[in-house]
Structures are given as structure tokens and as C-alpha cells.
Amino acid sequence: MGELIPLFPLGKPLFPGVVLPLQIFEPRYRRLVSDLTALPGSSDLRRFGVVAIRQGWEVEQIAPAEALYDVGCTARLHTVRPQSDGGFRIVTVGGDRFRLLDVVVGEEPPYLQGEVEWLTDEEAAEDAAGDAECAPPVARGSLTVLVRAVRDQFLEYVSEVAELGLGHGRQDVEVATMVEAVADDPAALSWLVASAALLTTEDRQHLLAESATRRRLVTEARLLRRELTLLQEIGAVPVPLQEFATPMTVN
């Protein structure tokens, strides 16, 4: 049996360390926020699991376990602002990754819950090997080279998106600033690229499921080369099919 946590389905995945603001207006998710804010402010349980929707919008009308991807990320509650209509504006931060084992649908509580197992990062062993005195220099240097390559590719990608008017203007500048801020943190850089690049949900989900930073960066280098080619040759970025689906809400 895995741990039971509240679930919040969204149209795209959340990544560790990434800020996720949400406007909460549906009654079931108002109840979720109320339940979390009733816990002590220091509690590690003030969080819910964000899982990307694989198909449909009302996941309870399908088999929920089939409607959702099986790897998600917790959203840690950071800021809660009650609204006059009874809803909330909240700010969360991506926390720990998990694998969804089962989905629990019930009347109490009214929101979905997921039975999950927590996923661990695999880079600790790689880093230890790279830092060992007996390790060859390339074991330490290769990750540095890879980080630099992904950083440079992503900055070029952000510039191309901005020039074609496909991004969000001011946000593109902010992303470039954040890249510089995390340039010395391979894991943080990999999650920033996964979150900010205009990739399909399937590509993003694949990156979320990858437990080793080095392999994640290698995949991102390949995806960025593909995206730069598309931008430079046809001036296009992939748009997930969900962008055209209706109805669409923020929660």
C-alpha cells in the first residue's frame, strides 16, 4: 500500500522547484484548500499531488487511473489568499515526484485522492562517483559540459521564440534571467527547461518521469535541437491537442 494524498489534475505536469499559482473556485478544490490550511503551517502535509491529464477533462467520468498520467509531482502550499466569492488564490511550489498506483474517488472528501509511491533521484550515486578521487576527470567534467550545452541551447531557443512572437514577452526575459540563476545547479536547470520550453505534454511527462539529472539533460539537449530546427525552418512550436479541447478550466 502506498501513501494516500489529495490529487489535483491539470492539463500539464508540475516539476520540482517550479512555482505554480492557481485560482481555486470549484467546491471540491475549495474544500481541499480548506483542509490543507487547517493543518499547522509547518506541516509537511500541506501539499497535494499534481498529475497531468492524459485524456478528457472530467476525469471522474472516465476511469480516473486511465485518464491521468502515472507520474506526478507534489505542490507545496506556499501562499493562500481567500477571495470574496469563497474561492482562493494560491501559490504552490513543486516538491517531490511520485508514481500514481491507484485513484480513490469518494464523496468524503469530495476531491480525488491518489495512492502513491515516492520516486527517488538517481543522480546521487553518479555525483558520488564523479566526486571520488579515483574517478577519471571526464566523470566530473562531462556533466559540466552537458549543463553548459543545454543552457546555451535553451537561451538560443528562448531568443528564437521571442523573435517569432510565440512566447510571452516579459516572461521570456524572466526565463532567461532564471537560467543564469540556476546555471550552476544541473537538476534545477533541467526542471526549468522542462517547465518553460513549449513542449508537448508527452515530452514534458517523459522528462518528469526521468530520475537521473544527467539523462534528463541529455534528453533536453535532443529536444532543444529538434525545437530549434522547427523554429528556424518553419517558425512553429508544438501545441498539445488539449489546447483545442473544450471545456477548459484552471482546475
Domain chopping of the chain, boundaries: 3-119, 123-234
Closest among 170, 212, 2, 243 to 102, alpha carbons compared: 2
Confidence band, pLDDT 50/70/90 cuts, at residue 2: confident
Which DSSP helix (H) or strand (E) runs through 190? helix 186-196
Average pLDDT of the residues in 47-74? 79
- Per-residue confidence (pLDDT) for residue 189, from 0 to 100: 95
Residue 241 confidence (pLDDT) above 70: no
Residue 242 confidence (pLDDT) above 90: no
CA distances from 118 to 183, 191, 209 (A): 27, 18, 12
Q: Give the up-direction half-sphere exposure of residue 112: CA atoms within 13 A in the CB hemisphere.
A: 23
Asked whether the domain spanning 123-234 has the same topology as the one spanning 3-119, the reply is: no
Which DSSP helix (H) or strand (E) runs through 76? strand 71-82
pLDDT in tens, 184-205: 899 999 999 999 998 999 999 9
Residue 249 confidence (pLDDT) above 60: no
Cβ contacts of residue 155 below 8 Å, gap of 6+?
176, 179
Confidence band, pLDDT 50/70/90 cuts, at residue 228: very high
Average pLDDT, the chain: 83
CATH fold for the domain made of 123-234: Methane Monooxygenase Hydroxylase; Chain G, domain 1 (1.20.58)
Residue 128 confidence (pLDDT) above 60: no
CA distances from 94 to 26, 73, 76 (A): 22, 6, 6
Confidence band, pLDDT 50/70/90 cuts, at residue 217: very high
Which DSSP helix (H) or strand (E) runs through 89? strand 88-104
CATH fold for the domain made of 3-119: 2.30.130
Q: Choose between 133 and 54: higher pLDDT.
A: 54
Instruction: Answer yes or no: pTM beyond 0.85.
Output: no
